[in-house]
Amino acid sequence: MNNKDIAVSFLKMASSGKVNEAYSKFIGTGFRHHNPFFAGTAAALQAAMEENARKNPNKVFEVKRVISEGDHVVTHSHVKQKPDDLGIAVVHIFRFEMGKIMEIWDLGQPIPSETQNQYGMF
């Protein structure tokens, strides 16, 4: 499995409620993340992902694009906490070491109900 496949598999598993399995399979020792709402440890982000999965069991997570260069993978996704939500556009940046995710950055932008841009966010 290459880094692109690992990144997508991690996101799909974690967003579908299989957070512990995703962490045990894909996260490396010494992992850190850059989400400003949680402490930078694997345990803190894992707990937040588990809570989100409990609160949003019908979450929709659709990866639209994946770009890989060296030890980095970038995904561009459409995330809906509930199927009827407009959702948010999310970019995840992953850094890998020896086939394990070692670092994640994530950025999100809410999808507006109306937009001036005829091409949309995806």
State the pLDDT at residue 116: 93
- Residue 87, domain member (yes or no): yes
State the pLDDT at residue 58: 95
H-type alpha helices, 1-122: 3-15, 19-26, 42-55
Q: Which domain holds residue 9?
A: 3-110
Tokens of 91: 């970019």
For 67-100, the pLDDT digits (tens) are 999 999 999 999 999 999 999 999 999 999 999 9
State the pLDDT at residue 5: 98
- Residue 92, domain member (yes or no): yes
How would residue 55 be classed by pLDDT, with cut points 50, 70 and 90? very high
- Residue 83, domain member (yes or no): yes
What mean pLDDT value characterizes the chain?
Answer: 96
Mean pLDDT value of segment 101-119 = 95
Predicted TM-score of the model (pTM):
0.93
State the pLDDT at residue 108: 96
CATH number of the domain to which 9 belongs:
3.10.450.50
Q: How far is CA 54 from CA 16, 33, 57, 119, 121, in A?
A: 10, 21, 6, 34, 28
State the pLDDT at residue 11: 97
- Residue 120, domain member (yes or no): no
Mean pLDDT value of segment 105-109 = 97
Domain count for the chain, please give it: 1
- Residue 48, domain member (yes or no): yes
State the pLDDT at residue 71: 97
